[in-house]
Structure 1
């Protein structure tokens, strides 16, 4: 990438990815270029495909659930072209790493709304919880345990009692009890991996 193009990009992203300063944006753009050009990446790719993105998030943040990772990919991929551009990468990380509570609530809801219809349905909860809960060797049917858990979740979060979670339900529940933000599976980095990623990625900021 030419120096001029890099500077234009940093200027634009300095405004849209507001949780990063320009030095940090430049570090993220350089990381993006390095990852896109890495082994196994598509030649002359304009961005990350799904597997590069998944490997990156798995390696840096320990996210392992394929269904959730696929939804995180779709949340970053704003134009739905199955490729994460440099702009989508930096803007996505702005919320992923440093988002306000409001931004994180919106992001998590989008991840959990598997079919994008504006609600988290019983079926969607079942799919996500079945994936994220450890299989316990027991006599009981594990599906029954998940259904019981969904009943508990709905009792706590479904304020309008329509059997599914709207964004308003989800937002109100999380504001009342922050731990419910990732109720259906981890889709945000934990503090330790987030700090390690930032230290490693932004260590050259002072030199820029």
Structure 2
């Protein structure tokens, strides 16, 4: 009986999520099954989606294994962007909503997502220091450089010059989104926080009817 109730609940959840995301109902159902595979004990925690939760370690495994991501700082920030209720876990609903933006989001949705990832202290601005930390973490260090930090500082200033539209020495969401609209390549200016096209296609192919 509990199994039937859980199945009914999952079908209802899939109905709700396909209306709010870029996935079809069969795709949502596949993603929910995938979630249960990653969180095998979810079946023993009751049948509400709030009781099935993916922790940071498992989520990072998914990012690493499915999307070839390796940057610890960015993986942690992506996890926080998925965890919209900030409870320290990703539940089924957050999983599907997050992947909808991550894999098929509009430019506006992905701009908001990337800004959230890059805003390390969550104060609604990307500061010089945050840019420096992100770029220092994601750029490959050249062994011949005497002081690589100087090169990163120069890059921060070049980026600010291009993106800081109100010239206040930091990027607001408006600065960032306007810059991305005029030059979409700036979306991941501070590091890769969206899947590469090949990783996206490979992941979608595991459950999607039409990639």
Query: Shorter-chain TM-score: what band?
Result: over 0.9
Higher RCO (CA-CA < 8 Å; seq separation 6+): 1
Cα shift at 1:8: 1.0
TM-score when scaled to structure 2? 0.91
User: 1:189 maps to which residue?
Assistant: 195
Cα shift at 1:201: 2.4
User: 1:68 maps to which residue?
Assistant: 74
Q: Can you list the C-alpha shifts for 1:145-168, whole angstroms capped at 9, x where unaligned? A: 000000100010001100000001
RMSD across aligned positions (CA): 1.6
User: 1:22 maps to which residue?
Assistant: 25
TM-score when scaled to structure 1? 0.92
User: 2:15 maps to which residue?
Assistant: 11
Counterpart CA distance in 2 for 1:185 and 1:49 is 23
Q: Secondary structure at the match of 1:123?
A: helix
Counterpart CA distance in 1 for 2:146 and 2:179 is 30
Counterpart CA distance in 2 for 1:139 and 1:194 is 35
The answer on 1:116 being equivalent to 2:122 is yes
Out of 99, 103, 116, the position equivalent to 1:97 is: 103
Q: Can you list the C-alpha shifts for 1:82-137, whole angstroms capped at 9, x where unaligned? A: 11000000000000000000101111001000011000000000100000000111
Cα shift at 1:16: 1.9
The answer on 1:32 being equivalent to 2:35 is yes
The answer on whether the counterparts of 1:46 and 1:83 sit within 8 Å (CA) in structure 2 is no
Counterpart CA distance in 1 for 2:179 and 2:9 is 44
Matches of residues 162-177 of structure 1 in structure 2 within 5 Å? 162-177=168-183
Q: Can you list the C-alpha shifts for 1:155-208, whole angstroms capped at 9, x where unaligned? A: 1000110000000110111111111000000000011110110111236x9xxx
The answer on whether the counterparts of 1:54 and 1:69 sit within 8 Å (CA) in structure 2 is yes
- Runs of 4+ with deviation above 3 angstroms: none
Cα shift at 1:139: 4.1
Counterpart CA distance in 2 for 1:168 and 1:29 is 34
Out of 42, 48, 58, the position equivalent to 1:52 is: 58
